[in-house]
Structure 1
Amino acid sequence: MLDVQDNPAPEVHDDPIAVDPRQFAAKVNSWLPHDIMLTDAWFPLAHSFAVAKKPIRRAVYSHPYFIWRKPDGSVVAAETHPNDQLAATKSEYTDEAGHYPVIEKYGYVWGWLGKPENAAPEHIPSIPYLPEDGGLPLHMLGTVRFDCCAPLSLENLIDLTHADFIHADVVGDEKMDKETVEVFHDSETITMVRTCVNKSVAPIMKIFGGVRDDVQQVRQVIRIYLRSHAAIAYGRFTPGDNVQLFHPCVPETRDRTRLDYAMNTSNVKKTNLFRYIMPKASYKVSRQDSSMTSPQSPRYMRPEKRKDLHSPLDEAGQKYRVLMLALAERQARGDFTYRDNVSSDCSDIIGYEKA
């Protein structure tokens, strides 16, 4: 007879969402976003155009990344400045030379934080509407910062309905005939799809996009890659133009987030001002978001008597919390494996139609 250890049962991967409602609620309300640190992940450290021969400094969870290009154009990322040889170090996240694994894709330099031997290209998120070799014009790229932790910023983003109230002067108000919301998830991603019938036209599309109708048919998608703290936002507006935004929230510190965004408006006619104005709207939208998240952030860093209340409309945000906590708990047990393929093409999920 075989010993049970010689013939173990297959590992069961439980879905942290599929639990008793009371357990689910307890997890949601145990949320401490500043305490979450996820590793074995690629982070988009900088736009490719920003990396040259002179080193620039970035950080992930306060771990320093000095990034520069060698004479042949390849990218290097190290824990210490290349001129500071006496301070050169090797940590659990770097190789013998103190270098991090790096990859260039989608117009970004991605740095790996985790065990170097686990770094693999298939763990880079799928962003179907960004050219893999980069090359977007500079007016479609930008950088903003949030004075809050990255998970809190993304929790705000995953609720697409917030835009009707906080960003109404840019993306339109809450007036519509009908709205449906769907939420999908696996162990590495969460996706919210919002469909609106006869929604008020976004002011920016009326003013700069040439939309003359009073209402639009709208399909909006937010998909978050949990480990990389990165989101893709895709919107189809009829009449109007598609909005194709990459929204990475790199956790520089426990209360500081860097967002090197890319909004691909190449699908918009060159004669249409929306092509040039919409990417820059991110600066206004980010200030509006920051006005909400920055005051919230410190409340999670100290005891708070008030309850962390939720509504039935907050399904995506609550599931995001539980999935992040589940990943953090898994990693605390020493399990850094990817159970789902984040690099698989998500075009069908977000409704992106390739040319």
Structure 2
Amino acid sequence: MDVVSEGVTPWIRNAWYVGCAADEVGTGPLGRTICGEKMVFFRTTDGSVSALEDFCPHRGAPLSLGFVRDGALVCGYHGLAADCRGKVSDMPGQRVGGFPAIRRYPVIERYGFIWVWPGDAEAADPAKLHHLEWAESPQWAYGGGYYHIDCDYRLMVDNLMDLTHETYVHASSIGQKEIDEAPVKTRATPEEVVTSRFMDAIVAPPFWQMALRGAGLPDDGLVDRWQICRFTLPSHVMIEVGVALQGRGGYDAEDAAKASSIVVDFITPETETSHHYFWGMARRFAIADAALTDTIREGQGRIFGEDLEMLERQQANLSRYPDRKLLKLNIDAGGVRSRMMIERAIAAEQPGAEAQETETEEMVAL
């Protein structure tokens, strides 16, 4: 499935990943494994978030089983306390001032998420966090959720960069035969991989009929539909989707004639066979309609739940037959090129490695 060298983790380490939604970190600690690193998130007295290694230096207990007191994280086993920098500050009846600091991970709270850098802390650069216009513009509404999925995170990237599966996995919501029939185009730049489909003069599937009604548009006429999937490192996929009344310009139609959205997919590796999936939809229509936001969130949740079952069973098959070779077709171009981008970035992080300036094509009939 990939060409990452033996002994090298299959994910990029020096990058910003979504560790959790901002509202997941409340008054107590939150434990989570990110890129194989066990971390604990907690808020300090000023409300800022800190992330430490989920390991008490006293007896190795998970700090996430403890509690927060006066801005310090207290181990639930023997009461050792650590501050937001990981410095051991207190323990009942003991002298712990000489204890080594607990590893601290760089974090940023932005766009409603807690972003964490699991690699070299000295290399963590806030400027490398993607700018998300929809997350800070009053012209957009957003609703989303979270799934824990037992499969390699790259299988989810494959899934999102090839939407042909919608016709089969999501037949009752967003799938339709025109997806199979429309040609898919793939292009790659040093910054992103893009796949796109455009379907003109079609009947909107059920999910998009609901969206049209929410936008105050008729749902019984023909529409022009688009899907533009954008992969960026380390493992994010933003998908521009929508429908416009037929003949009004399609993707470029004025807002009054279309229901336009971005499907938001933040894919954070947990282990080699599991990941955290933060999903949602940012939309440019009926932005003040909270009930519509809830309806779309519920609909998306069901759709992604269908993906979850398929992906977990796919992972089970691949784990059972690790030496089986899989076929690659032209529809796989987006996923394969995304994996190649990931692999180059992983290789560039290895000691003594130099970034590759050329890529080896490994596909047939792209």
- Are 1:116 and 2:134 an aligned pair? no
- String of CA shifts for 1:149-170, please: whole Å, max 9, x gaps: 1111111111022222221211
- String of CA shifts for 1:62-109, please: whole Å, max 9, x gaps: 31221111121111111133213759789xxxx955221111111111
- String of CA shifts for 1:24-48, please: whole Å, max 9, x gaps: xxxx775799951211011111111
- Are 1:290 and 2:308 an aligned pair? yes
2:159 maps to a residue whose letter is N
Taking the TM superposition and a 5 Å limit, the aligned residue runs for 1:245-256 are 245-256=263-274
What is the CA–CA distance in structure 2 between the aligned matches of 1:280 and 1:189, rounded to whole Å?
A: 30
Aligned residues of 1:101 and 1:111 also touching (Cα < 8 A): yes
Aligned residues of 2:280 and 2:300 also touching (Cα < 8 A): no
- Are 1:215 and 2:222 an aligned pair? yes
- Are 1:276 and 2:294 an aligned pair? yes
The count of aligned residue pairs is: 304
**Segment of structure 1 superposing worse, 171-180 or 141-150:** 171-180
Q: Following TM superposition, by how much is the alpha carbon of 1:338 offset from its aligned partner in structure 2, in angstroms? A: 12
Aligned residues of 2:263 and 2:282 also touching (Cα < 8 A): yes
Going from structure 1 to structure 2, the CA distance change for 1:212 and 1:177 (only over 3 Å counts) comes to farther
Aligned residues of 1:176 and 1:197 also touching (Cα < 8 A): no
Q: Which residue of 1 aligns with 2:110?
A: 105
- String of CA shifts for 1:152-205, please: whole Å, max 9, x gaps: 111111102222222121113023797343323234532222222123302023
What is the CA–CA distance in structure 1 between the aligned matches of 2:321 and 2:182, rounded to whole Å?
A: 37
Aligned residues of 1:209 and 1:274 also touching (Cα < 8 A): no
What is the CA–CA distance in structure 1 between the aligned matches of 2:269 and 2:180, rounded to whole Å?
A: 38
**Segment of structure 1 superposing worse, 172-181 or 277-286:** 172-181
Where 1:244 maps in the other structure, the secondary structure is: strand
Where 1:169 maps in the other structure, the secondary structure is: coil
- Give unmatched runs, 5+ long, in structure 1: 1-27, 340-355
1:235 maps to a residue whose letter is V
In percent, how many aligned pairs have the same letter? 22
Going from structure 1 to structure 2, the CA distance change for 1:49 and 1:215 (only over 3 Å counts) comes to same
Going from structure 1 to structure 2, the CA distance change for 1:306 and 1:58 (only over 3 Å counts) comes to closer
- Are 1:155 and 2:149 an aligned pair? no
Aligned residues of 1:40 and 1:118 also touching (Cα < 8 A): yes
**Aligned residue among 235, 244, 267 for 1:238:** 244
- Are 1:125 and 2:143 an aligned pair? no
Where 1:175 maps in the other structure, the secondary structure is: helix
Please tell me whether Structure 1 or Structure 2 has the larger radius of gyration of its CA atoms: 2
Going from structure 1 to structure 2, the CA distance change for 1:103 and 1:336 (only over 3 Å counts) comes to farther
Going from structure 1 to structure 2, the CA distance change for 1:126 and 1:202 (only over 3 Å counts) comes to farther
- Are 1:175 and 2:166 an aligned pair? no
Q: Following TM superposition, by how much is the alpha carbon of 1:114 offset from its aligned partner in structure 2, in angstroms? A: 0.9
- String of CA shifts for 1:98-148, please: whole Å, max 9, x gaps: 221111111111011111111011211232222279x977xx131122221
Where 2:186 maps in the other structure, the secondary structure is: strand
Structure scoring higher RCO (CA < 8 A, sep ≥ 6) equals 1
2:27 maps to a residue whose letter is K
Q: Cα RMSD over matched residues?
A: 3.4
What is the CA–CA distance in structure 1 between the aligned matches of 2:104 and 2:31, rounded to whole Å?
A: 14
1:250 maps to a residue whose letter is T
Where 2:185 maps in the other structure, the secondary structure is: strand
Where 1:122 maps in the other structure, the secondary structure is: helix
- String of CA shifts for 1:321-344, please: whole Å, max 9, x gaps: 2222222222234559899xxxxx
What is the CA–CA distance in structure 2 between the aligned matches of 1:231 and 1:336, rounded to whole Å?
A: 26
What is the CA–CA distance in structure 2 between the aligned matches of 1:147 and 1:330, rounded to whole Å?
A: 27
Name the TM-score, length of structure 1 as normaliser.
0.74
Aligned residues of 1:184 and 1:191 also touching (Cα < 8 A): yes
